[in-house]
Structure 1
Amino acid sequence: MYLADRSAPAKTATTTTASRSGGTARVVGSTVLALGAVSLITDVSSEMVTAVLPLYLVVGLGLSPLGFGVLDGVYNGVSALVQLLGGHLADRVRNHKLIAGIGYGLSAVCKPLLMLVHTLGPLGFALALERTGKGLRTSPRDALISMSTAPENRGRAFGVHRAMDTTGAVLGPISAYLILRAATDGYDAVFGVSACVAVLGVLVLVLFVPGRAKTAQADAATGTATDPSATAPAANAPSTTGPSAADPVRRVDLREALTLLRLPRLRALTGCAALLGLTTVSDAFVYLLLQQRIGIGEQWFPLLPLGTASVFLLLAVPLGVLADRIGRRVVFLAGHAGLLVAYGLLLWAPHTAALPYLVLALHGSFYAATDGVLPAAVADVVPEQLRGSGLALVGTGQALARFLCSLGFGAAWTVWGDGPALAGAAIGLLCCATAAGFVLRPSGPPAPGTTAPARTTP
């Protein structure tokens, strides 16, 4: 069981063709760039809301940390459950763009509801609908990225996509900050503008992201060839339970998707992602902790996510390329080590002017080292016909664990205070990261029939 560590893959037709077509300039295809543009615009919309939501709920509406933890858990947990549906539907109808488009559209429709509801129940319903859209779109979108990219370049491709996505995460808080300063009814103005931007993202998806047939053409245009091993099931997976590469049009049923958990490497990825998610404190809680520790003014609070997003933007591509070269496992675990240091700084570092910058830099580095690396690792071990379902299984496990973490952290903060709650999360993260490093350790070459060769040393 290992995180598809790969360093110097054997030369294939894919790499040869790519080198003839212009090297790295053509490694990332038009599908990845188009989806990156959609994510950029959509993240401007989403991060405008995310930047002001914690303060709006806790200060504006007076929710307790436990109440906020429930809403934050809903915000993350609902998308986790729906990811399974989105990934399976995309594989079943063989149209990943359609399912992703439905998800983007649903999120856009729900943004105006935030202007109309001001109590816990309706707010929870509106946020649940918005996150349903995110859950539907995430796995089909990542499946499109992986299927339009050669296996040895997936870390780079996901890094490019996450960098474009994070550009939106940088622009979103800035937009929210400017709107709050300029508008009389600042929060409603933020929610209204966010809805308009979300609609623009849907239009870009419809007009510029190619469908399934065009995705194959995009692969050819980028000089990549489909790696036969990318679509072959692992040797220990029964050949009767999954579609073969020679049967690309047969619909996938739910039983076939669930049998993916019989793949040892995918089980390891799913289990470790969930284990680490149990101790990954929500971004909103990190910003609230930092705001309380430093005493940041309310008008500056929306800019805190900007620090995380800026570092994420700078490091997403370099760390994606690094993961392609030295192994996904090393980069993935190093990201969690950086998050553990950030928790330690919030708990015990002296109050200095540099503290918020250090915490936000480590927080952004954590996302750059994990957010794109994990789906790239999943794509290495899942057959193409079940790519959406495989990505959904891992993403669901991770998001459900983070949902439980939000509930538990909010309750612990309410009962014992913010310091003991964060100390418990830090100790838990140390234990879980140690366990994940053991489970994901290299254990030898992959079985015949899986994807490109994997490293046998960390």
Structure 2
Amino acid sequence: MMDESCHEVGYLSKDDRKGYRNVIGLGFVSFFTDISTEMILSILPIYIIKELGGSKAILGLIEGIAQALNYILRTISGIISDKIGRRKIVVFIGYSISNLTKPFLGFAKTWVDALIIRAVDRIGKGVRTSARDALLSESISDKKLGTAFGIHRAMDQSGAVIGPLLTIVITAWIGLRYVFWLSFIPGILALLPLIFIVEERRRKISKKGVEYRFKQVMYREFLLLLIVVAAFAIGAYNFSFILLRSSEIGIPDSLIPLIYMIINLSHTAIAIPFGSLADKIGRRNSLFISYQTFILSTLFILFSPATFFMAIIFAIIYGIYMGTSETIQRALVAEYVSPELRGTAYGLYYIVYGSMSLVAQTIFGYLWDISGYKYAFTYSLVTSIIASLLLITLIRKKR
């Protein structure tokens, strides 16, 4: 443990220095995985609609199902990793599933093929994420969690910046489908630091049953946090619709990965400083700032001129929202439960977020198809304002 003097002068304890080996190791795993993933995601919305014949509602359904499976399996993997007392093997299985599956998108003939492959990819993400987050949280003292998650997120998103750049080069050089096939290379590289750098942390094994663990984490304040998360997630559109809106205002398909890269650059730049800020001003206050950034991004899309410059602006703002919300919400969950129950807590958090995400992406895509983009983004604006008001209640309650 870090003593008070260490906290005051900003030094790291011996345990924290050793723990940062895991933070950096898992950061490199995510770095290479995100190069692989973002090579694909930077073109996937356009690919589904223009190459595979899907609609905006179909895109929303694909993303919703994929994310719901992802988050539901986070619950199961979190419980399993708590029960067996081992995180690393669960993390390895999850990364292996994802990184071996994604390249098959290059063989897709219909949007149904894309749905199946995207779902299996997200199953892999679901298997790994709760156990990975729990391993991260156990590697570092609680007072440094915001910084640790920020470092991990920044490394993760650095790969997300490189991925779209590679897509632009590969598409221009040898063709779009080669992007999917070549994503296999960084996917395999991602497994190496997990094998050789990341270490299992000694921890207390939870011998209690599933029902007991759920009861232990589902007390009043954590339940209120889940309600806030649900209220926000039910209207939170994902990046795919930012890319589609950019395409609709006239940005060439060849430059859509550039817009995605800008989102990820913004995401990367904000992750570490915002994580450190959250450690100082409180994670609930920081989450409120993040929600307001999402609202600002939505307002820009609704009311700004449809120009290339404005597409860049709302990509930057949306990237800031992504970097802040994911960093802070993950760190915030750890405040509510003891280390041996964190896998379960992250699982509950993710299943709430995932089920609401399925609803959100489906409704959002459907509204866009039948009524236009303004109705879809207005829906998200309303739900994010409601979530912000609920979060104020959580902040005041904590005081």
Q: Equivalent of 2:274, from 319, 344, 362?
A: 319
Whether the aligned pair in 2 keeps the contact of 1:290 and 1:346 (CA below 8 Å) is no
Q: 1:322 to 1:196 in 2, by over 3 A?
A: same
Q: Distance in 2 between matches of 1:119 and 1:252?
A: 46
Name whichever structure is richer in helix by fraction: 2
Q: 1:106 to 1:15 in 2, by over 3 A?
A: farther
Q: How does 1:283-362 map to 2 (within 5 A)?
A: 283-293=239-249, 295-362=250-317
Look up the match of 1:74.
65
Cα displacement (A) at 1:82: 0.6
Whether the aligned pair in 2 keeps the contact of 1:112 and 1:191 (CA below 8 Å) is yes
Q: 1:353 to 1:287 in 2, by over 3 A?
A: closer
Deviation per CA, 1:139-167, whole angstroms, max 9, x where unpaired? 11111111111111110110011000010
Q: Compare CA radii of gyration and give the structure with the larger one.
A: 1
Whether the aligned pair in 2 keeps the contact of 1:14 and 1:150 (CA below 8 Å) is no
**What is the RMSD computed on CA atoms of the aligned residues?**
2.0
Residue identity in the other structure for 1:255: E
Residue identity in the other structure for 1:93: I
Q: 1:437 to 1:19 in 2, by over 3 A?
A: closer
Look up the match of 1:130.
121
Q: 1:24 to 1:17 in 2, by over 3 A?
A: closer
Q: 1:123 to 1:353 in 2, by over 3 A?
A: closer
Cα displacement (A) at 1:305: 1.4
Deviation per CA, 1:426-456, whole angstroms, max 9, x where unpaired? 1222223222322x12325xxxxxxxxxxx3
Q: Which runs of 5+ in 1 are unaligned?
A: 1-11, 217-247, 445-455
Scaled by the length of structure 1, the TM-score of the pair is 0.82
Q: How does 1:17-416 map to 2 (within 5 A)?
A: 17=6, 22-23=11-12, 29-183=20-174, 186-213=175-202, 248-293=204-249, 295-416=250-371
Deviation per CA, 1:51-110, whole angstroms, max 9, x where unpaired? 110010011122111111111112211101111111111111111011011000010221
Scaled by the length of structure 2, the TM-score of the pair is 0.94
Whether the aligned pair in 1 keeps the contact of 2:31 and 2:158 (CA below 8 Å) is yes
Q: Which runs of 5+ in 2 are unaligned?
A: none
Look up the match of 1:220.
none
Cα displacement (A) at 1:352: 4.6
Residue identity in the other structure for 1:103: G
Whether the aligned pair in 1 keeps the contact of 2:294 and 2:321 (CA below 8 Å) is yes
Q: Distance in 1 between matches of 2:134 and 2:300?
A: 37
Cα displacement (A) at 1:175: 1.0
Residue identity in the other structure for 2:232: L
Deviation per CA, 1:321-350, whole angstroms, max 9, x where unpaired? 110101111111111111111111111112
Whether the aligned pair in 1 keeps the contact of 2:242 and 2:315 (CA below 8 Å) is no
Cα displacement (A) at 1:392: 1.4
Structure 1 runs, 4 residues or longer, greater than 4 Å off? 17-28
